[in-house]
Structure 1
């Protein structure tokens, strides 16, 4: 029995060494990102619950502009999209660790982010706006009036950056939230006075349903942005996705999705 156990231990040790040195499915052993994705047969896409880009309908089905966009691109490339929700504050880590292959969730392009990942061409116009309760419309009208307010924004987002970059908002009581949606929930619940969020989402949700008591401060734009898809630095998937995107812009596929989900498509 002891001899058998010894043999098994040696076998497991050998297998461990083999996995360590030969890769044993090492995600970094493929010649390129495209080869890696093709071998796996799927593209693992990091997302958050962000309407109208990636969100769940009443039946629990994941839908949205980016969801359908990704599905259409993957179909064209002959692979399967696999969507997983991630902590947006750790998005670069998830990407570099090969836990996800890309970030396809209304990702804002910035030069700083471009130092840590490669982006596709931008495809959506966006801006950072401030959402408050409608009852506070007279109280909060500009950033100066928000100096003593309790602010929230998704941790690790450009909305958080916009707060830090503003002379007035940077002095406010700021708390990072888990997501764009949770930012709105905190304002609605009264645990925060204002939220810096993407206009793409705010235009869709604010003033309706669960957020009927909220409003966007008129004329207050903290930043103008464009949205793109983030891949690992050096990924040849960027070229693949850009090529399919050009086809979808030419044949009207993306325009139809933009009209369906009411987003501001970049067409030039």
Structure 2
């Protein structure tokens, strides 16, 4: 009997060790590596490269500030948005910080920080296009794979031919090239780039706006970075930093969450 009890205790101890190993501290890992790796796409005004090749944008600036608060370096890396959860859970990245919609479906796979910005999906077409909002369902629609725009195209707009691409800028480029008639993208991006520069020949389609969303940072389930990140975001709202960044980059804050 004593041998059986001893064996059971040994099995329990080994099981506990495996569970503990599976819940290693993300914070300690980041501190040990002396850097925090942020998964992004090129997405103006949240994360994009300036003329010198440096990362700038609302999220990029915030991510660097958060890294500073932890006393580590900040490394932004471009990821395939459709694979963001796999990249996060395999620890290729530590956070997803890229104007990410905090959807209930995504929340089943990862944790979110406190939400910090508001968003919606809009349709973008070529200037002079005769399409109306009602015509979108019969169009070829370019969307970023794994994005909120893709969800809208699949679940809200019935009957459309969907063209999935790697990033929202690629969706806009599809419309420019004439390979898609419509792009469904974040209004946060559309308001900042459509009708200007590279995208001067595009316009937001009147009456084609889909839903209200909020942005949050993505973390691994149970990550001990969440408490620090939530407090950081609330502190940066309280001291006016977020408000200043929102004005600089034309981003709408979700003040209800930030002020709690």
TM-score, with structure 2 as normaliser = 0.88
Question: Does structure 2 conserve the Cα–Cα contact (< 8 Å) formed by 1:124 and 1:227?
Answer: yes
Residue among 62, 68, 81 paired with 1:75: 68
- Which of 76, 83, 89 in structure 1 is aligned with 2:82? 89
Residue 226 of structure 2 aligns with which residue? 238
1:157 to 147, 152, 176: 147
User: Per-residue deviation at 1:122?
Assistant: 0.5
2:46 and 2:26 map into 1 onto residues whose CA distance is: 24
Deviations 1:181-212 (CA, angstroms, capped at 9, x unpaired): 01101101111100000000000000111111
Equivalent residue number for residue 122 of structure 1: 115
SS in structure 2 at match of 1:230: strand
Tell me if structure 2 keeps the 8 A contact 1:186–1:192.
yes
Contact kept, 8 Å, 1:48 with 1:105, in 2: the verdict is: yes
Aligned residues: 236
Matches of 2:138 and 2:117 in 1, distance apart?
Answer: 33
Please, what is the CA RMSD of the aligned residues? 1.2
The alpha-carbon deviation at position 175 of structure 1 amounts to 0.9
* Structure 1 residue matching 2:255: 3-state secondary structure: coil
> Which structure 1 residue ranges, 4+ long, deviate > 4 Å from structure 2?
none
TM-aligned CA distance change 1:41 to 1:190, over 3 Å = same
Q: Summarize the alignment of residues 156-195 of structure 1 with structure 2, pairs less than 5 Å apart.
A: 156-166=146-156, 169-195=157-183
Separation in 2 of the partners of 1:31 and 1:147?
Answer: 47
| Distance in 2 between residues matched to 1:219 and 1:237, nearest whole Å | 40
Matched, 1:200 2:188: yes
Over residues 208-259 of structure 1, what are the superposed CA-to-partner deviations in whole Å (9 max), with x where a residue is unaligned? 1111111111132112110000000000101111111111111101111111
Matched, 1:216 2:207: no
Matched, 1:226 2:199: no
Q: Which stretches in structure 2 are left out of the alignment for 5+ residues?
A: 1-20
**Contact 1:48/1:85 (CA < 8 Å) preserved in 2?**
yes
Q: How does 1:3-82 map to 2 (within 5 A)?
A: 31-82=24-75
Q: Distance in 2 between matches of 1:183 and 1:31?
A: 38
Structure 1: stretches of 5+ with no match in the other structure: 1-27
Tell me what 2:126 maps to.
Answer: 133
Residue of structure 1 in register with 2:7 after alignment:
none
For 1:111 and 1:47, the matched residues in 2 are separated by: 20
Question: Which among 86, 110, 130 is matched to residue 103 of structure 2?
Answer: 110
**What's the secondary structure of 1:112's corresponding residue?**
helix
- Using the TM superposition, give the Cα deviation of residue 81 of structure 1 relative to its aligned residue in structure 2, in angstroms: 1.0
